[in-house]
Structure 1
Amino acid sequence: MPSFPDLAGLRRALVVKLRHHGDVLLAAPVLSALKHAAPQCEIDALVYRDTAPMLDFHPALTQLHTIDRNWKRLGLAAQLTNEWRLLSTLRARHYDLVIHLSVHRRGAWLVRLLQPRWSVAPRYRGSFWAKSFTHFYPAQSHPERHTVETNLDSLRALGLEPKAEDKRVILIPGMDAEARIDALMKQHGLPPGGFIHLHPASRWLFKCWPAEKFAALCDALAARGWPLVLTAAPEAKEKALVAEILARRAVLSAPTFDFSGQLTLKELAALTARARLFVGVDSAPMHIAAAMGTPTVAIFGPSGDKEWGPWNVAHRVVASRHHPCRPCGQDGCEGSKVSACLTELPVSEVLAACEELLK
């Protein structure tokens, strides 16, 4: 039976989350809970560079280290140089504890190279993995359990029970993002709390609600007098989805603004914090809206809403009640990239969820 870390003696810890934006954001409570339990401990994090805005400015964070996924495109020599530079930086921190929050094999190698006294990771297959860490937690918890709680299981495996106040997902936009959004809202005459923010797209289009249905929802909300702000990532497919929604609009009874591809992730957070309501699909912007405390309507298809739904915020999840196969976790029905549980989801159900939260 492995011993638990002496929290009072912890000097430095490294939290590793090498996943996508939403995954990294939902790992933020691990930082808060560990800092609360060991306030003297310096807590660092290691993430992919493009996901760094999800943790940047976190009050529990001392240093944020990043891996650029583009290193491998620079040639072998440049990649090895960057990898060695990162490893040297991490070694110089002399971590007592490494918390690895995924089954990425790099975590096992890092622990062997950094040699912390304690290390924890999801339980996974293979003797190399099993011999790399001192403590383990279940890699997959119950499907009715939220991902935030699964991440916090890493601390429970170390004998630390997170407090309720530490389970909040913290995201800080920063002064530059706040100033940019204040100026943008002033330019377009948008009052705080006086508009609805819609983010219809996801990097995985099989998670998206059809454009014609989103357009009908926009018409219904605009007919009720709500100004609308639509956003999307700079990717061509996401911007094309928003363009199609706007092209299908029939009612223009309230102002509609398209900020697709114009905002950074920090600016997106600052914008959604000022909205009366957020409407979107299972995507990082939905998690961002929840982290900012904005009432959230989340449209779910093949992914599990119990695991990935809005966390710790007033919300409504809208998902098909007529498809017992969901959540299947598949990229569309039989790999088609089209999810019937989304294409057949009525506008009326999403509108009803919006109206409940707008009350």
Structure 2
Amino acid sequence: MADKILVFRRGSIGDAIVSLPALAVLKSRFPEAEFRILTNAPVMNVAAPVESLLGGSQFATKFYSLPPGGGSLGSIISLARTIRKWNPDQIFYLSEPSSPPSLIREFLFFKACGAKKISAMPYGAEQRRYRRKADELWESECERLLRIVDAPDNPERSSWLEFTAEEKQDAASILEEGMSAGRYIAFSIGAKLPDKDWGDENWSSVLNAITQADRALGIILIGAVDERSRAFGLVQKWHGPILNLCGETEPRLSALVMEKTLFYLGHDSGPMHLAAMINVPCVAIFSARAKPGVWFPEGDGHRIFYPWHMAGTVTDKAGFRTAGNSIASIRTEEVIDACLTLVSRE
């Protein structure tokens, strides 16, 4: 009988994407196993959940969702009983580590789910901290997850996520009907938290400079439905074709629509990770919420803007923190230069 493996991963699409390499490793180790995912509703209700990316993929046949805000004791017991009926053989902890008291509660919950083995629980400091790399960079959350599952290398991207022929055709149809420009970029305002938001004035300056440099260039707006009006307001002076897909496409389809863009422009967000996943260069704006590198887009060729002067004050522990007004130190002129360099490439 095939193994039953439950993977624990909280968060939204960005969290799901950085988990893909570790999931691919587990899938290669247990090719016949049935995988299910235990997740939660995103902290920000407008953020796309993990299931919106991994639903229907090779990594999950079913999803279990933790009650919002932790839920009542009754709801937690009910969920544990539901999972126990499935009778998982093993649980893998592929989420950002909780606090030590919460880890104890999570361990007890996993035992209540009937798991015969619990793997990658981040008990030790090494599992809870990011390691320093060269050139002031720290290992990414993706690399930390690979480390805790003892993976020697990052697997090929072809094993990360599979798209169906129907999804590819849907993306092609959207572009054929809505984007008349031969060259276009993707933009997402995508900051769900105030300390990750660079501000409309900065974005307007950058977008206006890009469209002045290439008046025929198109732009695709990617994001949630609540970002639709704001994103469209920022491109009122855009000269080329505009395709506003905020709230119109699910994450998997958004990724495919961005596949042939010159580059992605925007905040550190789920759409940024979607673009990087399909090898699109990113011009990404970061606050000092985490050590430099932890949430940077995977791959090469990205232009990253980070408050480097604050890097030494940021903790190397995984988990939530606020970043104050650190993002305000990033200068529009530098971002414009990076964008125009990419626009000028043939």
Asked if TM exceeds 0.5, the reply is yes
Task: Kindly provide the amino acid, as one letter, of the partner of residue 300 in structure 1.
Answer: F
Instruction: Tell me the residue number matched to 1:354.
Output: 339
* TM-score, normalisation: structure 2: 0.78
Tell me the distance in 1 between the aligned counterparts of 2:82 and 2:311: 50
- Change beyond 3 A, Cα 1:285–1:172: farther
Distance 2:161 2:336 in 1: 28
Opposite residue 306 of structure 2, the aligned amino acid is A
Which of 256, 273, 289 matches 2:242? Answer: 256
Matches within 5 A, 1:56-95: 56-59=55-58, 61-67=59-65, 69=67, 80=75, 84=78, 86-95=79-88
How many residues are matched? 319
CA contact (8 A) 1:294 1:313 kept: no
- Residue aligned with 2:149, SS: helix
Measure the CA separation in 1 of the matches of 2:311 and 2:35.
43
- Equivalent position to 2:14, from 10, 13, 22: 22
Structure number with higher relative contact order (C-alpha < 8 Å, ≥ 6 residues apart): 2
Kindly indicate whether residue 298 of structure 2 is the aligned counterpart of residue 311 of structure 1: yes
Aligned to 2:46: none
* Of 90-99 and 15-24, the range deviating more from structure 2: 90-99
The 1:169/1:348 distance shift into structure 2, 3 A limit, reads: farther
Choose the corresponding residue for 1:206, options 195, 210, 218. Answer: 195
Query: Match for 2:3 among 8, 11, 23?
Result: 11
State the partner residue of 1:267: 253
Tell me what 2:146 maps to: 152
Distance 1:302-1:320 versus aligned 2 partners, 3 A rule: closer
Matched with 2:45 is: none
Q: Distance in 2 between matches of 1:270 and 1:287?
A: 13
For residue 186 of structure 1, the aligned residue among 154, 176, 184 is 176
Q: Distance in 1 between matches of 2:14 and 2:252?
A: 13
For the residues of structure 2 that align with 1:168 and 1:353, how far apart are their CA atoms? 28
Tell me the residue number matched to 2:230: 241
Cα pair distance change 1:119/1:342, threshold 3 Å? same
Kept after mapping to 2: 8 A contact 1:56/1:172? no
RMSD over aligned CA atoms reads 3.3
User: Displacement of 1:205 after TM fit?
Assistant: 2.8
Q: For 1:261 and 1:111, how far apart are their aligned partners in 2?
A: 35
Partner of 1:99: 92
Change (3 A) 1:357 1:168: farther
Separation in structure 2 between the aligned mates of residue 343 and residue 71 of structure 1, nearest angstrom = 31
Q: Secondary structure at the match of 1:308?
A: coil
Q: In structure 2, do the counterparts of structure 1 residues 35 and 323 end up closer, same or farther at CA, with 3 Å as the change threshold? A: closer
In structure 2, relative to structure 1, the CA distance for the partners of 1:269 and 1:197 (3 Å cut) is same
CA contact (8 A) 1:198 1:231 kept: yes
- 1:99-139 deviations in whole A, cap 9, x for unaligned? 112345463133212343321244349xxxxxxxxxx9612
What is the deviation of 1:197? 0.3
Counterpart in the other structure of 1:109:
108
Query: What per-residue deviation string (whole Å, max 9, x for no partner) do you get for residues 28-81 of structure 1?
Result: 22221012233233333222363202222333x2523221646989xx79x74x
Greater Cα shift, 263-272 or 63-72: 63-72
- Tell me what 1:292 maps to: 278
- Superposed counterparts of 1:24-63, under 5 Å: 24-48=16-40, 50-59=49-58, 61-63=59-61
Checking the alignment, whether the CA contact within 8 Å between 1:95 and 1:116 is kept in structure 2 is: yes
Say which SS state the counterpart of residue 138 (structure 1) adopts: helix
Max Rg structure: 1
2:224 counterpart of 1:226: no
Structure 2's unaligned 5+ residue stretches are 42-48, 133-137
What SS class does the counterpart of residue 235 from structure 2 fall into?
A: helix
Supply the AA of the counterpart residue of 1:107: E
- Give the AA of the match of 2:11: R
Whole-angstrom distance in 1 between the partners of 2:296 and 2:25: 21
C-alpha contact 1:194 1:275 (8 A) present in aligned 2:
yes
Residue 124 and residue 207 in structure 1: after superposition, are their counterparts in 2 closer, same or farther (change >3 A)? same
**Secondary structure of 1:307's aligned partner:** coil
Find the aligned partners of 1:279 and 1:94 in 2 and give their Cα distance: 44
Q: What SS is found at the alignment partner of 1:213?
A: helix
The structural deviation recorded for 1:269 is 1.7
After TM superposition, the score normalised by the length of structure 1 is 0.76
